[in-house]
């Protein structure tokens, strides 16, 4: 028969390390109620869920935690923390697990998207000139389609004067876009533009770090994440002087 675990023999080095970075995490308050697991979209992936992952931390199963692939399927959406009666910060725990991996061993896809964002300003690696060309081309198609409908009596042509700008200084709002849309689904840009046009929103696209997604955050690359955000914020505040930022992600 297996010997029972003796609590005084447990060593929770990783727990203490993470707790020192997140003093408000409250790991020891876990009631093992499983509420966190109920709303977790990653539950049962790799036979794991938030409750099990946290229990492993509290039981000192450091090696198993650090090697677990489950940390990379967690979306860090925060549902677990929102539902938790003790408000235990599991997303930050997962972030620190990811950060404990050597960077070159972290998932290739997320790492590549992070690197592209640092290099090109978006996860798809789209040059600024191509982004600007795409939004101007799609806007022109919308205007032409609206004008044609108006001429044929099948529409009002209310979007025939639709204007899309990039880096317009003084616009009230800067809008961040998922970089996949201009590349693979440019027609998906139109509906949001029409809504903004309808309500007479004063907005523009930034062209510095314009990708709304930030894979460096998901990679737990704090240096890359900080670089992206600092470049973006500087461009918005000092160059464009926008008052509001809306991130569609």
- The reply to whether 5 falls in a domain is no
pLDDT value, residue 7: 47
Beta-carbon contacts of 119 under 8 Å, excluding residues fewer than 6 positions away, are: 125
77/168 same-domain check: no
Cβ proximity of 110 and 51 under 8 Å = no
Band of residue 15 on the pLDDT scale cut at 50, 70, 90: confident
Band of residue 8 on the pLDDT scale cut at 50, 70, 90: very low
181/134 same-domain check: yes
Mean pLDDT for 109-117 is 97
pLDDT in tens, 117-132: 999 999 999 999 999 9
Q: How many domains does the chain have?
A: 2
Beta-carbon contacts of 18 under 8 Å, excluding residues fewer than 6 positions away, are: 25, 27, 57, 92, 93, 96
Domain that holds residue 62: 12-101
Rounded to whole angstroms, how far apart are CA atoms 207 and 171?
14
151/240 same-domain check: yes
pLDDT in tens, 29-69: 888 999 999 999 999 999 999 999 999 998 889 999 999 99
Mean pLDDT for 171-196 is 95
pLDDT value, residue 3: 60
Model confidence at 23: pLDDT above 80: no
Mean pLDDT for 76-91 is 92
156/185 same-domain check: yes
73/177 same-domain check: no
Helices (H), the chain: 13-21, 35-38, 50-58, 62-67, 79-83, 90-99, 108-120, 128-151, 180-184, 190-198, 215-219, 222-234
Model confidence at 105: pLDDT above 70: yes
97/155 same-domain check: no
pLDDT value, residue 2: 56
Q: Which of 101, 121, 151 marks a domain boundary? A: 101
90/122 same-domain check: no
| Dihedral angle over CA of 166, 171, 173, 179, nearest 10 | 0
Model confidence at 92: pLDDT above 80: yes
Type and span of the H or E element at 89: none
Q: What percent of the chain is predicted at pLDDT more than 90?
A: 76
Q: What does DSSP say about strands 203-204 and 173-176: parallel, antiparallel, or unpaired? A: parallel
Model confidence at 172: pLDDT above 50: yes
Q: What does DSSP say about strands 203-204 and 244-247: parallel, antiparallel, or unpaired? A: unpaired
- The mean predicted confidence, pLDDT, of the chain is 91
pLDDT in tens, 130-156: 999 999 999 999 999 988 888 887 878
Place of tokens 């470049």: 231
Mean pLDDT for 94-120 is 96
Distance of CA 4 to the CA centre of its chain: 42
Rounded to whole angstroms, how far apart are CA atoms 88 and 173?
35
pLDDT in tens, 192-244: 999 999 999 999 999 999 999 999 999 999 999 999 999 999 999 999 999 99
């Amino acid at each position: 028969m297996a010997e029972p675990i003796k609590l005084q023999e447990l060593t929770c080095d990783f727990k203490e390390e993470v707790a020192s970075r997140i003093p408000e995490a409250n790991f020891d308050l876990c009631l093992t109620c499983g509420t966190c697991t109920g709303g977790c979209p990653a539950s049962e992936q790799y036979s794991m869920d938030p409750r099990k992952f946290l229990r492993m931390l509290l039981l000192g199963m450091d090696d198993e935690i650090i090697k677990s692939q489950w940390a990379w399927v967690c979306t860090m959406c925060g549902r677990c923390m929102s539902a938790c009666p003790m408000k235990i910060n599991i997303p930050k725990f997962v972030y620190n697990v990811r950060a404990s991996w050597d960077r070159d061993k972290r998932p290739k896809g997320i790492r590549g998207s992070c690197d592209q964002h640092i290099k090109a300003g978006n996860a798809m690696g789209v040059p600024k000139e191509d982004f600007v060309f795409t939004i101007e081309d799609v806007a022109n198609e919308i205007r032409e389609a609206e004008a044609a409908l108006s001429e044929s009596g099948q529409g009002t042509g209310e979007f025939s004067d639709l204007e899309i700008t990039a880096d317009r200084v003084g616009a009230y709002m800067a809008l961040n876009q998922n970089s996949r849309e201009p590349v693979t689904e440019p027609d998906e840009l139109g509906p949001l533009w029409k809504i903004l046009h309808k309500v007479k929103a004063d907005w523009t696209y930034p062209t510095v770090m314009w990708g709304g997604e930030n894979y460096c955050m998901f990679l737990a690359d704090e240096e890359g994440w900080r670089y992206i955000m600092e470049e973006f914020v500087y461009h918005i505040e000092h160059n464009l002087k926008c008052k509001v930022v809306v991130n569609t992600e």
